[in-house]
Structure 1
Amino acid sequence: MPTKIQNFARSALVKPVTVNVGRAGAANLDVIQEVEYVKQEVKIVYLLECLQKTPPPVLIFCENKADVDDIHEYLLLKGVEAVAIHGGKDQEEREYVISSFKSSKKDVLVANDVASKGLDFPDIQHVINYDMPAEIENYVHRIGRTEDVVRLE
């Protein structure tokens, strides 16, 4: 639960109780996680190399909208069937992106944390965290989309 909501709940409730199912803020133990340390100047090239070794569908998460757009444009220029989603897109475009990725018309979805919660994509083979999210909860939601995660640091 977000910190603001927790603080509000504590102030409004009498004798609140916190119930954790599993380990709070922790990833599922079945998720395979790998960390790759990559210099910033070659990160996007390395991302393309990772995609060439990974069968689709693949999710790529970025922290901000500008990175989502930059990576999406780069992948399109390199011939990758990619779509992108973030809070700056209108509803019609978001629906197109989600449906084309879910129906396997597009191999790669580049997104910020707007896609890490509430969206279900079947058979995701690989999640790539282009950068780390500001909140650990967002990381857990990101990697919850799959069973195999690579984080580019």
Structure 2
Amino acid sequence: MPTKIQNFARSALVKPFIVNVGRARATNLGMIQEVEYVKQKAKIVYLLECLQKTPPLILIVCENKVDVDDIHEYLLLKGVEAVAIHGGKDLEKREYAISSFKAGKKDVLVATDVALKRLDFPDSQHVINYDMPTKIENNVHRIGKTGRCGKTGIATTFINKSQSETTLLDFEAPLARSQTKDSTCLGWA
């Protein structure tokens, strides 16, 4: 639950409590999580190597629309069957991208966090965090798009000197927990 909503609930409710289904801020065990140190200038080129780790379907998640468009264009120039979605694209283009990716007609979907909300891709093999999210909750939602319901998936996160120490420490704790506890598939993240 977003921090703003939690704070509001605490201020407005009498004796509030939190119910967690599964493990709070944790990821499932059906996934291999990789953290790759990649210099900022080398990230777009390194994507091609990362795409070779698994067969399609592959999600690439970025923090902003400009990166989504740049990566999408780069992948198309390199012959990768890719589509892209973000809030700046019209509804027709977003629907085409989502349906063609889900149907397996396109191998890669490049998107922002906002565009991925409430979307489910049960056959996704790999999620690549092109930009490390600033909030750990966003990371859990991103990588929860793979390794679902007994399937194995890979989540690769690019990090570099641009990440704050606090963000990296927030990222490390759930990663360690996910390697030690049981998990059940309860639906999409």
TM-score when scaled to structure 2? 0.77
1:132 alignment counterpart: 132
Contact 1:116 1:145 in 2 (8 A): no
The one-letter amino acid of 1:141's match is: H
- Structure 1 residue 152 corresponds to structure 2 residue 150: no
Contact 1:116 1:138 in 2 (8 A): no
Q: CA deviation at 1:112?
A: 0.8
What is the correspondence of 1:10-89 to structure 2 with a 5 Å cutoff? 10-89=10-89
Give deviations 1:66-112, integer Å, cap 9, x for gaps: 11111001001111100001111121111111101011111000011
Q: 2 CA distance for matches of 1:29 and 1:104?
A: 25
Aligned residues: 153
Q: 2 CA distance for matches of 1:71 and 1:65?
A: 10
Structure 1 SS opposite 2:20: coil
Q: Which runs of 5+ in 2 are unaligned?
A: 148-153, 160-189
Runs of 4+ in 1 over 2 A off after TM superposition: 114-117
Q: 2 CA distance for matches of 1:144 and 1:13?
A: 30
The one-letter amino acid of 1:57's match is: L
Q: Percent identity?
A: 79
Q: Which segment drifts farther, 65-74 or 47-56?
A: 47-56
Q: Which runs of 5+ in 1 are unaligned?
A: none
Q: 1 CA distance for matches of 2:142 and 2:41?
A: 24
Structure 1 SS opposite 2:133: coil
Q: 2 CA distance for matches of 1:140 and 1:116?
A: 12
What is the correspondence of 1:106-145 to structure 2 with a 5 Å cutoff? 106-145=106-145
